[in-house]
Amino acid sequence: MRHLATLAFLLIASLPLAAAELSLELPGGTHRWSSAELLAHPQIRSLSIPADPTYRRGMHYRALPLAVLLDGVGPGDHLQAQALDGFAAELPAAPLLRQEGARAWLAIEDPASPWPALGEGKPSAGPFYLVWSDPQMGDIGPEQWPFQIARIRLLAPLAERFPALLPAADADASIQAGFVLFQKHCLACHRLNGQGDARFGPDLNLPYNPTEYFHEAFLRRYIRDPQGLRQWSLGRMPGFSAEVLTEDELDRLLAYLRHMAGRKAGSR
């Protein structure tokens, strides 16, 4: 029986991946694209990414300019890409619609030729992955490369959806700038004051804010290199290098978090 079970597992593992489906919820309504339909799109092309931040090496994809799928979306709109694992990337539409400089592409995994796994026992970055050509021309950070995407949807701006994330109206410029950085680098994985769509990491203000239980020097080290400070096989937080988040930007992000420690939900 054990031999039969092993044989059955090997047969299943050798089968090609099933075709996936991407849901686009845009001004004109919801449209669902199968991976087969996207791979047959007239604007599909081969794309090389020299330094893929997810795979940490050069990669080659079949990809579409994301803008061709965003019917009715304007530069002032706001989109969210939701991943299968609960990651929810908040994406201003303007960079996604650009035709020059840093350009957004939807990479589509071919079920007949799957991408490499992201690690031992892990799936690939498919079925759909937002990648960028020439990202250095648009200040594109790693949180703007969501993978394992299942849905892209048009949403109201964050300030309207999640008012408990907002700093006080009279907060100084460094705190306001830190809020912008929080949206870019943290909100894809974390909630704050119970608000946000991500289900990947813990809330960063409830019951305690990390600035309340981390000495600042260790919090800075943790943001830069989580595994270097606390080794844990299940740890999924990436490190934010100085190239991604400068020291000045880290100062502003921490200023926002310290400020929000005094603005816990229900305490105002």
The pLDDT tens digits along the chain (268 residues) read 434 443 443 333 344 456 799 999 999 899 999 999 999 999 999 999 999 999 999 999 999 999 999 999 999 999 999 999 878 888 999 999 999 999 999 999 999 999 999 988 889 999 999 999 999 898 888 888 999 999 999 998 888 889 999 999 999 999 999 998 998 888 888 999 999 887 778 999 999 999 999 999 999 999 998 877 766 655 567 778 888 889 999 999 999 999 999 999 865 5
Beta-carbon-side half-sphere exposure of residue 185 (alpha carbons within 13 Å): 25
Q: Taking the mean position of all CA atoms in its chain, how far away is CA 9?
A: 32
- Class of the CATH-defined domain 17-155: alpha beta
This prediction has a pTM of 0.74
Nearest to 85 by CA among 214, 236, 238: 236
Which residue is associated with the tokens 């959806």? 161
> Which residues are 216's β-sheet partners?
none
Which residue is associated with the tokens 């931040």? 53
Assigned fold of 159-261: Immunoglobulin-like (2.60.40)
Q: Taking the mean position of all CA atoms in its chain, how far away is CA 68?
A: 20
- Reading phi first (left if > 0) and then psi (alpha if -120 to 50, else beta), residue 86 is in left
Cα separations (Å) of 160 from 156, 198, 267?
A: 6, 17, 20
248, burial (CB in 10 Å: exposed 0-12, middle 13-18, buried 19+) = exposed
Residues in the chain: 268
Nearest to 234 by CA among 83, 150, 119: 119
Work out the angle at residue 149's Cα, subtended by the Cα atoms of residues 177 and 91, and round it to the nearest 5 degrees.
Answer: 25
Asked if domains 17-155 and 159-261 share a fold, the reply is no
User: Coil, strand, or helix at residue 154?
Assistant: strand
Query: Where do the structural domains in the chain lie, given as residue ranges?
Result: 17-155, 159-261
pLDDT for 78: 92
